[in-house]
Structure 1
Amino acid sequence: MNVKFKRLHPDAKIPQYATEMAAGFDLVAVDDVIIAPGETAKVPLGFAVQIPPGYEIQIRPRSGVSAKTKLRVANSPGTVDADYRGEVAVLIDNISQKSYEIIDDEVYAEATFCLSLVDGKSTLIVPEGYDTSNAILKDTYWIRKGDRIAQGVLAAVSRASFEDVAELDDTGRGDGGFGHTGVSV
């Protein structure tokens, strides 16, 4: 199926499937984004798309990012509608707890400032222009330009007609929900 891709940023990457049978295609950050614990950030991808009518792109987490970091796709799965023509972006939550490491001015050095990366590793390199004050927030993540941060899945969309009724058919489940069947087998 053909999905038209419009580059809005010179470094935008055309989405690609990492393997022949992958369901999702990689979505790549086009800018550096820093996300402190407890924060949510919109990570731009630098492109717009034209999705065929009757389809959507679902934005989902990459399992490696979720396994190695505290970064989560905030509205997973996010939806890019067929009639949307703006820049595609990914909302990312840093679910780490806020905790500070206070560094004494006399001990402070660049090596004491460390950012976490989407592969679960850390770096002592600080992005240009980033303020490294003495109160350093642990578990602050740096999504770097070029990082694969999420995946997209092209999915068919069913449309519903809703009918206003006074009663619904009875079922064995009824109104039981939110764990009413328990957790043990």
Structure 2
Amino acid sequence: MMNTIKFLRLAHNADLPLPAYATPGAAGMDLRACLADGDIVIEPGAIALIPTGFAVELPPATEMQIRPRSGLAIRSGILNPNSPGTVDEDYRGEIQVALMNAGHEAFAVAHGDRIAQAVIADVRRPEIVEAQSLAGTVRGAGGFGSTGVK
């Protein structure tokens, strides 16, 4: 498998650094807001789509998972409503990040702010077949808390 990710800088992104890992052990690379027209304010309960100014070419059989930044989530209630979001390997449009304000105050996103992290993950594409039955398990069809909390 190829170990290279290509980022294409889009025309409206004149100055942002490439997405990067903040530390040598980081699982996710930081994605930044590309807001040439000024800040975006996300009111409590609202969702905004934030551009990053980059398109990407991922290695075959991988995806880019878009996840919240823990500091934004804990301090300000800023989440990704579709977390983790998926960028498919064949997508070539601009990477955009959905941000939801689950906090109690308006939140301003400025150009260059680190708004999410991207994790590259392997993707399996098994054969899909219709079955007449499924193998039994101890759990069976129990779901939504059926195993308890303790």
**By the TM > 0.5 criterion, same fold?**
yes
Aligned to 1:164: 130
Aligned to 2:63: 56
Of all paired residues, the percent bearing the same amino acid is 49
Aligned residues: CA RMSD = 1.1
Aligned to 2:73: 66
Aligned to 2:8: 6
| Partner-residue secondary structure (3-state), 2:94 | coil
Moved over 4 A (4+): none
CA distance in 2, matches of 1:61, 1:174: 33
Q: Deviations over 1:35-89 (max 9, x none)?
A: 1111100010001011011111100111111110111011110011110000001
Aligned to 2:51: 44
CA distance in 2, matches of 1:95, 1:140: 10
CA distance in 2, matches of 1:12, 1:40: 23
CA distance in 2, matches of 1:42, 1:11: 20
Q: Which amino acid aligns with 1:160?
A: P
With normalisation by structure 1, the TM-score equals 0.75
Distance apart, 1:146 and its partner CA = 1.0
Structure 1 unaligned residues grouped into runs of 5+: 98-138
Equivalenced residue count is 143
Distance apart, 1:155 and its partner CA = 0.8
| Partner-residue secondary structure (3-state), 2:133 | coil
With normalisation by structure 2, the TM-score equals 0.91
If you compute each CA radius of gyration, which structure gives the higher value, 1 or 2?
Answer: 1
Q: Which amino acid aligns with 2:75?
A: K
Distance apart, 1:96 and its partner CA = 3.3
Q: Which amino acid aligns with 1:28?
A: R
Structure 2 unaligned residues grouped into runs of 5+: none
Distance apart, 1:13 and its partner CA = 2.6
